[in-house]
Amino acid sequence: MSNYPELHLLVEGEQIGTASRETIDVLDPATGEPIAALPKATAADLDASLEAAANGFRRWRATSADEREAVLRKGAALIRERASVIGAAITREQGKPFKEAVGETIYCAMLLEFYAGECKRLYGRTLVRPDGQRVEVRHEPVGPVAGFSAWNFPALNVMRKVGGPLVAGCPVIVKPSEETPAGGLGIVQALLDAGVPGDVLQCVFGVPDEISRHLLASPIIRKVTFTGSTAVGKHLAKLAAEDMKRTTMELGGHGPVLIFNDADVDKALDTMAGNKYRNAGQVCVSPTRFLVEEDVFERFRDGFIERAKAVKVGNGMDADTQMGPMASQRGLDGIQAKLADALDKGAKLGAGGNRIGNQGFFHEPTVLSEVPLDATIMNEEPFGPIALINPMKGEAAMLEEANRLPYGLAAYAWTQDAKRRMRLANEIEAGMIAINSGTVSAADAPFGGIKWSGYGLEDGAEGVTACMVSKTVHETA
Ligand code: NAD
């Protein structure tokens, strides 16, 4: 099939294709039709990958910072070169517009370029006592890492799983989502082609719970990193606890957006409506609950409805498409159930509300307003193209609602008042806050949440230290 590669496992540098393994179908969400078969790893494949990772660890941790940096820089260059090929595969398997898919791939290269520089910044420290005693604080790689990632960013989620560990000196066995395998395979292959050894970076697929149980049961794996739902994150954290493995959990959110009377409403609308419908709303940092101060409520709601209606929905491979289909039937069913519940409980429908056509998983960009707090959608992540816009009275009530849920990933606020901005930065419970901006992620800044949105960080220097353990050596002459 054009625009879509042959799929395989990557174990110890060997490609294992579909001929000798059971397979899973990969669907095109724009048609609902299969586009490729994906091989499933056997228990023997997983055991081979574990043994290889143990060997790879001995060698990779001993490489110099210069060597690691050079390989990662080459990997980034290859990812840039291949961005349109990887991007086309992402659009085919996940649905997002081709331009967004290429942007995601380029962002992977930028992240890797930042990480490459971090190879030379793995510092320890030495404390020298007046009596000649020295205390040396060393940071060492934690060991082989198992990474499991979600389908919403097929390439970027995988990049985030492998970048920090590779800098720190850890091998990784990564399992991208079976629903969107090619984006992650593209990233892994570029790194292997750049010179990362085949026993240092491996890629497997299968039944998610079987793969994670198998890998986590092994003492070889010392860290687990996961992107996905809070429910699965809690499950994996429990399995990791059995063997005291370290964990990084990048889980769901329910992003509040506080729009104050003094906000630049047009800028807020242009920025946040664009953010809301990006990737059909299937973004963990998506803006979700719009809490709008009374005086600007109607203007904001009406402006949002206008922008939602103008979004061009279509096949992600068409040049003028601004929003593609949802990634799966499961996602489409999920938002339709949450929408029905909200409307039943009295929410007002401002735009959209329906599935588009009966082929593929398309849904209209949707706006709900005056949504009651007991509607499921006000409490569980919609993970779809739905904005929830409610009128609010004053800062205290807006803060209370922003912090009401157990999630704390991304939050947004729009206000011209500098003192208020400081209060919001202090009081909003979230891992990342954007004020008068829609951007919550940068290669050199940590990405991650608090509360049920997870713990441990990716990106920035923190993405590397999350893959290291400390050893303190007390030495007397
Ligand atoms: P999910 O957590 O079931 O699946 C997410 C990914 O985790 C999938 O790619 C799956 O292969 C993998 N996975 C599932 N069970 C696993 C296991 N036992 N071991 C290892 N990997 C496993 O989520 P979903 O059903 O795809 O989506 C449900 C909700 O999860 C969404 O509506 C959204 O709220 C949230 N979600 C969040 C993110 C994020 O970026 N944080 C990504 C995807 C989904």
Three-state secondary-structure class, residue 313: strand
Q: Given this model, what pLDDT does residue 323 score?
A: 98
pLDDT attached to residue 224: 98
Pocket test for ligand 1, best of 145, 205, 232, 235 (most atoms within 8 A of CB): 232
Distance, CA 228 to ligand 1 centroid (Å)?
4
pLDDT of residue 1: 46
pLDDT at 3: 82
Q: What whole-number distance in Å separates Cα of residue 116 and Cα of residue 66?
A: 9
pLDDT number for residue 210: 98
Compute, in angstroms, the gap from residue 232 CA to the centroid of ligand 1. 7
**9-251+453-476 is classed CATH 3.30.413.10:** no
From first to last of its 477 residues, what are the pLDDT tens digits of the chain? Answer: 468 999 999 999 999 999 999 999 999 999 999 999 999 999 999 999 999 999 999 999 999 999 999 999 999 999 999 999 999 999 999 999 999 999 999 999 999 999 999 999 999 999 999 999 999 999 999 999 999 999 999 999 999 999 999 999 999 999 999 999 999 999 999 999 999 999 999 999 999 999 999 999 999 999 999 999 999 999 999 999 999 999 999 999 999 999 999 999 999 999 999 999 999 999 999 999 999 999 999 999 999 999 999 999 999 999 999 999 999 999 999 999 999 999 999 999 999 999 999 999 999 999 999 999 999 999 999 999 999 999 999 999 999 999 999 999 999 999 999 999 999 999 999 999 999 999 999 999 999 999 999 999 999 999 999 999 999 999 998
Residue 31 makes CB contacts below 8 A (sequence gap 6+) with 359, 360
Q: Is 250 noted as a catalytic residue in this protein? A: yes
How far apart, in Å, are the Cα atoms of 121 and each of 135, 464, 466? 20, 10, 14
Distance 459 CA to ligand 1 centre (A): 20
* 255-442: CATH class: alpha beta
Angle between helices 98-118 and 65-81 (to 10 degrees): 170
- Helix/strand/coil (H, E, C) string of 375-425? CHHHCCCCCCCEEEEEEECHHHHHHHHHCCCCEECEEEEECCCHHHHHHHH
**pLDDT at position 74:** 98
pLDDT for 225 equals 98
State the distance from the centre of ligand 1 to the C-alpha of 81, rounded, in angstroms: 30
In the chain, count of helices (H) and strands (E)?
Answer: 14, 22
Q: Using alpha carbons only, how large is the chain's radius of gyration in Å?
A: 23
Domain assignments of the chain as residue spans, ordered by start: 9-251+453-476, 255-442
Query: Can you tell me which atom of ligand 1 is nearest the CA of 178?
Result: 11
What is the position in ligand 1's atom list of the atom closest to the CA of 176? Answer: 9
What is the 230 CA–ligand 1 centroid distance (Å)?
Answer: 8
What does the alpha-carbon distance between residue 152 and residue 171 come to, in Å, rounded to a whole number?
A: 24
Q: Taking the complete model, does pTM exceed 0.95, yes or no? A: yes
From the candidates 69, 100, 250, 395, which is the catalytic residue? 250
Annotated catalytic, 284?
yes
Pocket of ligand 1 from Cβ distances under 6 Å: 148, 150-152, 177-178, 208-209, 212, 227-229, 232, 235-236, 250-252, 284, 330, 334, 381, 383
Residue 205: per-residue pLDDT: 98
In the set 284, 293, 364, 429, the catalytic residue is 284
Indicate the burial class of 202 (C-beta count within 10 angstroms; 0-12, 13-18, 19 or more). Answer: buried
Beta bridge partners of residue 472, listed in sequence order: 137
